[in-house]
């Protein structure tokens, strides 16, 4: 099922640093690219999302960079905080159907 490849599998960042998670997709029909944040014992929660007609979207400390020609997109977390420690999933879907998820990145932000 996996049509979205995510890296790294785990990431450790110091407080105040920048966390970067990368994803690559295969299906050029995908038209929606969200990032989800999941804390232990909880379901994934939508963090930020982008459509392929823009190259960047920023919401607070979270930024998605999107490269359509390379079929890649990434999540940047600026000024990372211990409260950002969670598992992050990239995903992709076409026409809001059959959303496919990356393998996940476990982020640890050290104080």
Picking from 46, 56, 57, the residue whose alpha carbon sits closest to that of residue 93 is 46
In sign, the C-alpha dihedral spanning 103, 34, 107, 64 is positive
Task: Give the nearer residue to another protein in terms of CB position, either 20 or 49.
Answer: 49
Closest to another protein by CB, 69 vs 95, is 95
The footprint of another protein (CB under 8 A) covers 1-2, 32, 34, 36, 41-46, 49, 51, 89, 93, 96-104
**For another protein, the closer CB: 72 or 81:** 72
CB under 8 Å to 98, separation ≥6 — which residues? Answer: none
């Amino acid at each position: 099922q996996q049509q979205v490849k995510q890296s790294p599998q785990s990431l450790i960042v110091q407080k105040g640093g920048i966390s970067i998670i990368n994803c690559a997709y295969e299906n050029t029909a995908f038209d929606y690219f969200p990032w989800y944040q999941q804390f232990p014992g909880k379901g994934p929660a939508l963090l930020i999302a982008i459509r392929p007609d823009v190259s960047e979207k920023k919401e607070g400390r979270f930024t998605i960079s999107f490269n359509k020609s390379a079929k890649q997109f990434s999540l940047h977390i600026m000024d990372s905080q211990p409260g950002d420690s969670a598992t992050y999933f990239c995903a992709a879907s076409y026409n809001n159907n059959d959303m496919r998820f990356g393998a996940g990145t476990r982020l640890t932000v050290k104080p």
